[in-house]
């Protein structure tokens, strides 16, 4: 009960802040961009429009939604606290669901406060579009994906660079599942010291690069996409130890846009 009361009190304070920003946002006129953009850009615009609608005309609903999420999480944790001993796997599933609810509530809150052009929205758009791509592979190959996207990495890259990296992630994942017979694939977009890294790692059967002879169409495509993003693609593998695809976009290429012939 104390946990629920604490979360409710915190959510009320947050709700007041959200309402103030919603009121300020209502004073600004908005204009939605057309929805005929493809890929990640379309998802990003969709999220922008969604957050604009919430910020301007549905501030109260955002406040209520965040409050409901916090209360629901508190109740779930309270009701399942004994399951950690009797059903640890079931408790873990409930805990993951709680984390997803809190992540969604925090994302909505931050997007409402900082506005639709923030890296929060761009990161959410990239992650959502990548998730849509991988969900089909997950069902087809009965595999698991661990996707982690760093906001700082997203903020360094332009829309076309993100689109190219998304396609690399999908192609690398497809190769891992189809040829490597992997069951777990990790996809990470992260910020390095002077670059941005896309890392796709799988637990498949791997291969010996020296025995490949000529490079396959999948690897060639990934290298082409990496070049379009202003970076390079490195693939390492060993039989029995899976494969690792790393695309490195150096600092000098941040925000750059490259056409197919450049």
Q: Mind listing the pLDDT tens digit for each residue in 69-122? A: 777 777 777 777 777 777 877 778 887 887 777 776 766 666 555 555 567 778
Between 171 and 44, the higher pLDDT residue: 171
Mean pLDDT over the full length of the chain = 77
Residue (of 91, 104, 2) closest to 54 by Cα position: 104
For residue 49, the model assigns a pLDDT of 73
Percent of the chain residues topping a pLDDT of 90: 36
pLDDT of 200 over the 50 cut: yes
The pLDDT of residue 94: 80
Q: Which of 38-52, 182-196, 215-229 has the lowest mean pLDDT?
A: 38-52
144-149 vs 184-191, strand pairing mode = parallel
Element (H, E) at 76: helix 59-79
Give the Cα separation of 99 and 105 in Å (integer).
10
Which value, to the nearest 10 degrees, does the dihedral of the CA atoms of residues 225, 208, 134, 258 take?
Answer: -10
Percent of the chain's residues with pLDDT above 70:
67
pLDDT band, residue 142 (cuts 50/70/90)? very high
The answer, yes or no, to whether residue 60 has pLDDT greater than 60, is: no
Which of 17-26, 30-39, 62-71, 201-210 has the weakest average pLDDT? 30-39
| 169 vs 134: CA distance, rounded Å | 9
pTM score above 0.75: no
Neighbours of 16 (CB within 10 A): 10
Of all helices (H) and strands (E), which one includes residue 247? Answer: strand 243-250
Strand residues in 25-101 grouped as ranges (E)? none
Given pLDDT bands bounded at 50, 70 and 90, which one contains residue 46? confident
Q: Which of these, 127, 137, 141, 157, lies nearest to 251 by C-alpha position?
A: 157
Q: Can you state the angle between helices 39-57 and 2-26, rounded to 10 degrees?
A: 100
pLDDT of residue 76: 77
In this predicted model, what pLDDT tens digit does every residue of 205-224 receive, in sequence order?
998 876 665 667 888 999 99
Residues 179-189: what's their mean pLDDT?
Answer: 95
For 50-59, what is the mean pLDDT?
59
Tell me, what's the pLDDT at 33?
40
């Amino acid at each position: 009960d104390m946990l629920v009361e604490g979360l409710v009190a915190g959510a009320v304070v947050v709700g007041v802040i959200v309402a103030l920003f919603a009121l300020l946002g209502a004073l600004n006129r908005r204009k939605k961009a057309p929805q005929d953009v493809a890929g990640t850009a379309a998802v990003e615009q969709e999220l922008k429009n969604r957050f604009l609608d919430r910020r301007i005309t549905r501030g109260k609903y955002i406040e209520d939604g965040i409050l409901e999420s916090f209360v629901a999480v508190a109740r779930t944790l309270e009701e399942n606290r004994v399951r950690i001993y009797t059903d640890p796997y079931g408790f873990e599933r409930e805990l993951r669901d709680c984390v997803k609810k809190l992540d969604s509530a925090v994302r909505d809150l931050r997007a409402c406060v900082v506005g639709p052009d923030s890296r929060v929205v761009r990161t959410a758009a990239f992650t959502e579009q990548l998730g849509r791509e991988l969900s089909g592979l997950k069902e087809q190959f009965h595999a698991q994906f661990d996707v982690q996207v760093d906001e700082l990495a997203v903020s360094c890259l332009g829309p076309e660079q993100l689109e190219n990296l998304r396609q690399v992630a999908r192609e690398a994942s497809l190769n891992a599942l189809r040829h490597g017979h992997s069951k777990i694939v990790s996809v990470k977009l992260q910020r390095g010291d002077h670059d941005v890294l896309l890392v796709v790692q799988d637990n498949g059967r791997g291969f010996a690069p020296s025995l490949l002879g000529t490079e396959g169409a999948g690897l060639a495509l990934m290298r082409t996409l990496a070049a379009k993003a202003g970076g390079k693609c490195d693939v390492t593998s060993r039989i029995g130890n899976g494969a690792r695809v790393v695309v490195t976009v150096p600092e000098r290429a941040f925000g750059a846009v490259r056409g197919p012939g450049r």
